[in-house]
Amino acid sequence: MVEKTLGSSADESSAAGGSAADESSAAGGSSAAAESAAAELSFTQASVTAEGTPLVGIIIGSKSDLEVIQGACEQLADFKVPYELVVASAHRNPEKVHAWSASAVQRGFKVIIAAAGKAAHLAGVVAAFTPLPVIAVPIKTSDLGGLDSLLSMVQMPTGVPVACVAINGARNAAILATQIIGTGDLNYQKTISDYKHQLANQ
C-alpha cells in the first residue's frame, strides 16, 4: 500500500493521503488546515491510510527504507492512528526536511518517526526543527549491519534528544508513538492497554 501511494522520484516523495507527482506524501486523511499547509509546502497528498488528520509524521531517508518502515505503517493502521509518510533526506534534500519538520506542529502531528540507514542524521535534523518528540528507527545496512545507523541516531548531543528503537524496529516505533499520543488521549491509551493484554495472552 505504501509503495502504491508514493511518487516516482528518487529520494523525495511523501505519502500522506493522495497521489504523487515528483513529490508524494502518504498519510491518513487530513484536515483543511493540514491540506493547506501541505499545499504551501508543495507536499502532494497521497492515499488515505486511516481516517482523520495525521497524528504521526513518518519520514524516511530513502525509498529503499520502505520495506522496513512498512511495519510501522501496518501497526499504526492496526491501531487506527492516522499517519503521513514522506521520503526526504537531510543529506539530499535538506530544504524539504526543514519545511516538513518545521510545519509538523502546525499540521497537527503529535509525534514523528524518522527512519534512515548508514550516516543516519535524519532523525536528529528533524528534532532540531520541531518541538515534537522524535522516534528514530535505525535501518539495517549491508556494510555495517545497522550499527552505523544506530550510533548515528543514539549519540545525539545534549539538548536535542531522539528516542531510538532497535535496528529495523519499525513496529516498536509505531507502538511507542501511539503510547505517546495515548498520554493525552484515553482512547489510544486503551488501544495500547488492549494490545498489551493481547500480548500477554499469546
User: Binding residues for ligand C2R, per CB under 6 A?
Assistant: 11, 61-62, 64-65, 89-91, 116-122, 139
Where does residue 20 fall: left (phi above 0), alpha (psi -120 to 50 degrees), or beta otherwise?
beta
Task: Quote the least distance from Cβ 68 to ligand C2R, whole Å.
Answer: 9
Cα–Cα distance for residue pair 136/147, rounded to 1 Å: 13
Residue closer to ligand C2R, measured from CB, 61 or 182: 61
Residue closer to ligand C2R, measured from CB, 23 or 65: 65
Residue closer to ligand C2R, measured from CB, 139 or 173: 139
45: three-class secondary structure by DSSP: strand
Task: For cell 529495523, name the residue.
Answer: 168
Nearest to 40 by CA among 109, 110, 106: 106
Task: Quote the least distance from Cβ 90 to ligand C2R, whole Å.
Answer: 3
Per 3-state DSSP, what percentage of the chain is helix, strand, and coil (rounded to 5)? 40, 20, 40
Task: Quote the least distance from Cβ 138 to ligand C2R, whole Å.
Answer: 9
- Contact between 112 and 133 under an 8 Å Cβ cutoff? The reply is yes
Residue closer to ligand C2R, measured from CB, 34 or 85: 85
- Contact between 77 and 49 under an 8 Å Cβ cutoff? The reply is yes
Task: Quote the least distance from Cβ 152 to ligand C2R, whole Å.
Answer: 7
Task: Quote the least distance from Cβ 125 to ligand C2R, whole Å.
Answer: 7
CA distances for 193 relative to 112, 120, 180, 183, 187, angstroms: 22, 32, 13, 12, 10
Cα–Cα distance for residue pair 148/139, rounded to 1 Å: 9
Residue closer to ligand C2R, measured from CB, 11 or 78: 11
Residue closer to ligand C2R, measured from CB, 89 or 103: 89
**Structure letter (DSSP) for residue 140:** P
Task: Quote the least distance from Cβ 53 to ligand C2R, whole Å.
Answer: 26
